[in-house]
Copies of this chain bind each other. A is one copy, B any other.
Amino acid sequence: MAELKSASPSSTPPATHAEHMDISGRDYRATSVAGLPALEEHGVGIDHKIPQDDAIQAQPDLAWSRIRHYLREPLAEFFGTFILIMFGDGVVAQVVLSGGANGEYQSITWGWGLGVMLGVYTAGISGAHLNPAVTFANCVFRKFPWRKFFPYMIAQILGAMVASAVVYANYKSAIDVFEGGRSFRTVPGYSETATAGIFCTYPAPFMTKTGQFFSEFIASAMLMFLIYALKDDGNIGAGPLTPLGLFFIIFGIGACFGWETGYAINLARDFGPRLVSYMLGYGHEVWSAGNYYFWVPMVAPFFGCTFGGWLYDMFLWTGESPINTPGAGLYRLAQPKRSVWSNTYQERRGQITHA
């Protein structure tokens, strides 16, 4: 997790902390620059957040409180994605391994839907992206700091990996029974009793590579477009119902676009557990299945989410966005300057001026 700390300044004088303690939660963002990185509020569902950092700083001498402060956002993404995959991979395990007796296809749409919903409640601190492609689109369209992109992505992947390992541990006996023995671990398309589909997605056999990509692209675009709709207070806006709205979005994508490729729509959700299943002995087929399908749910969501975000900003969003700049944001492409492209550049200027 060393990389996760790279986003933070390396030394923070205790004196600054003392100052920080006097400041109410509301003014927190402006002052946290003094020594602590700001926790920007972006992404899903945290409009009404009341920062609780004063509680942390009540014990500024505690080593763990200080360490945790810098890891606060990656930790939130880690646990949010962990919860998502616990429920998501868990429900597939239960449905597959019980042979449909303790669940059916609709249970899977429930499990992933509520996994996202409860993951969002868990990770509100960090904006609850839970998906590198959502983080990416927020960097492009909603001024989410680019320097946070990799820490977020790594935290999301690690959360997904740990969760899929826990699901494996929990269902190990049942997998042994289902596969016919301890030494069998097989991948869909290579066996009638394959269980690798518990962990990551495998496409339906009739899909072409183009079809696979298109399906993931469309589902990711829907995801991002609808997240921006729920979060748009100039529209109806879901407000505190946003996590519930996400339940319906994910349920809907699963019920309507989930058959062909298993609606991964998320690099962390698919690559993390896939890597774990490879480490657990499911063999090289986890990569080669579906004509080397594995890269599609890694790449397509970035294109899909960016397209979905662009679609919303281009046609419906009227708030701040690169699309609402001259040339619908295209003039930017000719200006490779930090002042134009950085999401944090102007903020810093402003803060220095105030200081």
Q: Which residues of chain A have a CB within 8 Å of any CB of chain B?
A: 45-46, 48-53, 55-56, 58-59, 62, 64-65, 68, 75-76, 79, 83, 86-88, 90-91, 93-94, 97-98, 101-107, 109-111, 114-115, 117-118, 120-122, 124-125, 128, 166, 169-174, 176-177, 204, 206-208, 211, 214-215, 218, 222, 225-226, 229-230, 233-241, 243-245, 247-249, 251-252, 255-260, 311, 315-316, 318-320, 324-326, 328
Contact = CB atoms under 8 A, between A and B. Distances in A.
Given A94-B258, A259-B94, A315-B68, A252 B87 contact: yes
Contacts of A215: 170
A32 to B, nearest CB: 14
6 contacts: A55-B324, A62-B328, A117-B248, A173-B207, A174-B204, A176-B206
Contacts of A53: 318
A256 B111 contact: yes
Given A98-B259, A114-B255, 10 more contacts: A75-B316, A79-B311, A86-B256, A87-B252, A105-B107, A110-B252, A121-B236, A122-B316, A176-B206, A241-B244
A206 B171 CA distance: 11
Given A49-B235, A218-B170, A235-B122, A106 B105 contact: no
Among A110, A204, A218, max chain B CB count under 10 A is at A110
Pick the 10 closest A-B CB pairs, nearest first. Answer: A52-B234, A90-B256, A124-B236, A102-B259, A52-B318, A91-B256, A55-B318, A124-B235, A114-B248, A114-B252
A76 B316 contact: yes
Contacts of A50: 233-234
Contacts of A101: 105, 259
Contact of A226 (B48, B121, B208, B316): B121
Contacts of A172: 211
B257 A94 contact: yes
Contact of A79 (B75, B87, B115, B316): B316
Given A226-B83, A229-B122, A235-B121, A55 B252 contact: no
